[in-house]
Amino acid sequence: MKLLQRNCREVTALVLAGEDRRLGFFERWAVRAHLKACAACPRFFRQVALMRQALPRWRAYRESEE
């Protein structure tokens, strides 16, 4: 059952890996399960999502200044 039970460090690594590649079914399931049980990791997940949304805007702003 270790496959589905992940600690915060492992989930953090998976969330960041998800920025570069599509996570597998069991990886996505493990992240979702952990996010429901953990108090701190959902905040990190939201922060990563915010950075993902802000990056294109920052690039556009930076290109307009050049």
Lookup: tokens for 23? 């996570």
Q: What is the pLDDT of residue 60?
A: 85
Q: Which residues of the chain have pLDDT under 70?
A: 1-4, 66
In angstroms, how far is CA 1 from the centroid of its own chain? 22
Tokens 């920025």 correspond to what residue?
19
pLDDT tens-digit profile of 27-43? 999 999 999 999 999 99
* pTM of this structure: 0.75
